[in-house]
């Protein structure tokens, strides 16, 4: 009987298996959602009924917290930071985050919400299936 590989170990190996872990878009070594699904389909240790996932935790601590406190300056900065970590294969992620940052710069809460909703509608399901347990920020 084969021994199961702990998720943490699998995630440490995934850059080696899928061509590196550079966030430099010019390097072309980021895993696509399809490539990442093998690591993500191993036992996921976060999400519904479990500990918060890394990006979920970051979004709550930064985006949601700044939105609730109406700290649009910090919200704008956090959305700009989010735009910089668009995962390969998630086209439109950066544009949505930048649109949210632009809305935050005008203290346009409705505009920020619309950009977040649009991004979540477009990417949430795929992100949860493929990159949920991997930190982006």
Is residue 64 in some structural domain?
A: yes
Q: What is the pLDDT of residues 23-43, one digit of tens each?
A: 333 344 455 554 444 444 445
pLDDT at 72 over 60: yes
Q: What's the total number of domains in the chain?
A: 1
pLDDT at 132: 92
What range does the domain containing 85 cover? Answer: 54-130
Is residue 105 in some structural domain?
A: yes
46 bridge partner residues: 51
Is residue 63 in some structural domain?
A: yes
Tokens 């918060």 belong to residue: 52
Q: How confident is the model at residue 18 (pLDDT cuts 50, 70, 90)?
A: very low
Distances 124 to 13, 56, 110, 130 between C-alpha atoms, Å: 25, 11, 20, 10
Is residue 77 in some structural domain?
A: yes
Q: How confident is the model at residue 120 (pLDDT cuts 50, 70, 90)?
A: very high
Q: How many CB atoms lie within 10 A of CB 1?
A: 3
pLDDT at 88 over 60: yes
pLDDT at 9 over 50: no
Q: What is the pLDDT of residues 52-62, one digit of tens each?
A: 999 999 999 99
Is residue 24 in some structural domain?
A: no
Q: For residue 26, what is the DSSP state?
A: G
pLDDT at 92: 96
The pTM for the full model equals: 0.68
Is residue 79 in some structural domain?
A: yes
């Amino acid at each position: 009987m084969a021994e199961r590989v702990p998720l943490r170990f699998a995630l440490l190996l995934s850059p080696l298996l899928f061509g590196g872990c550079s966030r430099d878009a010019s390097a072309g070594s980021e895993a696509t959602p399809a490539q990442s699904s093998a690591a993500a389909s191993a036992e996921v240790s976060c999400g519904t009924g479990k500990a918060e996932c890394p990006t979920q935790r970051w979004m709550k601590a930064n985006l949601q917290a700044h939105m609730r406190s109406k700290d649009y300056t910090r919200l704008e900065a956090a959305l700009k930071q989010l735009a910089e970590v668009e995962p390969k294969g998630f086209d439109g992620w950066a544009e949505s985050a930048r649109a949210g940052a632009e809305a935050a710069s005008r203290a346009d809460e409705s505009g920020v919400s619309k950009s977040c909703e649009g991004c979540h509608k477009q990417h949430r399901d795929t992100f949860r299936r493929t990159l949920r347990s991997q930190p982006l920020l």
